[in-house]
Amino acid sequence: MKITIIGAGPGGYEAAIMAAKLGAEVTVVEKKEVGGTCLNIGCIPTKALLASADVLTTSLEAEKFGVFNDHTTVDLKQIIERKDKLVAGLVKGIEFLFESNGINLIRGIGKLIDSKTVEVKCNDGGVETLVSDKILLATGSVPVCPEMFHYDGEKVITSTEALALKTPPKSMIVVGGGVIGCELGQFFSHLGTKITIVEMADQILSSEDESVAKQLLRQFKREKIKVLTANGVTDVKVENSGVVVTLKNGAILEAEMMLLSIGRSSYSKGLNLEELGIKVDLKGQIEVDETLQTSVKGIYAVGDLINTPYLAHVASKEGIIAAENMLGKNKTGIHKAIPRCVYTDPQVAAVGLTEKDAQQKGIVYKTGSFDFRSLGKAQIIGKIQGQVKIIVDEQDVIIGASIIGPEATDLLAELTMAVHLGLTAEELGDVIHPHPTLSEAIMEALHDIHGMSINKASLRF
């Protein structure tokens, strides 16, 4: 079977490798580097910068551990060079996987001609016509940049430009207090940039648990990061000295730069969706069935093109499912337990429902929680801020969890599995957790649901 995939981001490249392993003849069309936004200008480079910030924080706090540094300096240019080297190595790794799995990679822009044909305008100026049995669309998304913000890539930037800055600005207004805004805002704050985050919702990380957002907000305040919630931008002026922003409440902010982090939108430009009759929703997202097939038989779509969370790991899973279905299987999209990760300091990670979600759905629930400050391991590593919170329904089934604290994004895997498998708090709480570890906070939170946490302080009257 021949399969053509347009887009080599997480959804496209993992689908290609899976399809090849299942015996398909696979061709991938990609106009830029393989790995897509996530690898080149998203998840990986952002976390590379944040890793440098973590080293800086550790260095500045070294005296607490009996280690003394004579002098600590930061060179953003070297941080960016390290990031670029890491990204280049991972891109080569995917190219090697393509080669070793016999996947044909064509550099160019693909366009649908019919349900079996893709026309490629190659980067070298040529044109190729690809005829295949099945087609997968995986072209991802782009940052939202409304005209009123006067995006110019210099004073008004997106994460793409932020990841390539050689010197930190003296001041920056971050529009949007979601994942990208919080991560990059804190990163530049650590480098000495005066940061102001403007968020329209009532809290930063608006989709996460309120208690988590409040704890992160407290950390930002300690770091002198100014956060303005329940506010929006009404006017933007770009001047020689920087950017002047007027807020909904009439306040005026000035900064050297403004970072737009207000979301992303599906990128389907030039695919010919309308001409082929491929249905899209009001947001421009492609409509798919449970098998990830579009309204046109034989054409599938995954990742940021469809109405599922814009997350690399979601696109990867959907790409694998789509590949299996194109080759005769009948798998459905698995979106019951989607992990959500924010790589701030402290980290934030969540899966399933928040308390607000449960309330809106009318679910009767209970919670259990445990603070990291009560853990021996947290005190050993000097990271005591944060907690684990777990939500269960009336049958004691774990339906959601939130973690804010050290290594939260790694700790979440255990709770993601629990939500995915429908485990109860009693079942997971019976598992022996190694000591001393951060994972003990999960065990204690599970026990706390039933009022049986051994190490949680409680007041008795």
Whether 122 contacts 128, CB under 8 Å:
yes
| CA–CA separation, 330 and 387 (whole Å) | 40
Dihedral of alpha carbons 399, 202, 261, 234, sign: positive
Question: What does DSSP assign to residue 107?
Answer: E
Half-sphere exposure for 127 (CA within 13 Å, toward CB): 4
Task: Output the CA torsion sign for 264, 170, 82, 346.
Answer: negative
Distances 9 to 184, 260, 318, 370 between C-alpha atoms, Å: 22, 22, 12, 38
Residues 6+ apart with CB under 8 A from 80: 49, 163, 164, 165, 166
Give the Cα-Cα-Cα angle 288, 36, 32 (nearest 5 degrees): 115
Nearest to 34 by CA among 102, 80, 93, 110: 93
Residue 335 is among the residues annotated as catalytic for this protein: no
Query: Which one is catalytic: 71, 335, 435, 447?
Result: 435
Cis peptide before 436 (omega within 30 of 0): yes
* Cβ proximity of 326 and 24 under 8 Å: yes
The dihedral of CA 124, 125, 127, 130: what is its sign? positive
Q: What is the DSSP string of 285-352?
A: PBP--TTSB-SSTTEEE-GGGBSS---HHHHHHHHHHHHHHHTT-------SS--EEE-SSSEEEEEE
CB of 4 within 8 A of CB of 27?
yes
> How far apart are alpha carbons 298 and 118 in whole angstroms?
13
Cα–Cα dist 250/233, whole Å: 9
Centre a 10 Å sphere on the Cβ of residue 34 and count the other Cβ atoms it contains: 25
- CA–CA dist 190, 172 (Å, integer): 13
Q: How far is CA 389 from CA 7, 178, 355, 450, in A?
A: 38, 20, 10, 13
Q: Annotate 113-145 with DSSP letters as a single string.
A: EETTEEEEEETTS-EEEEE-SEEEE---EEE--
Q: Which residues are catalytic, by number?
A: 435
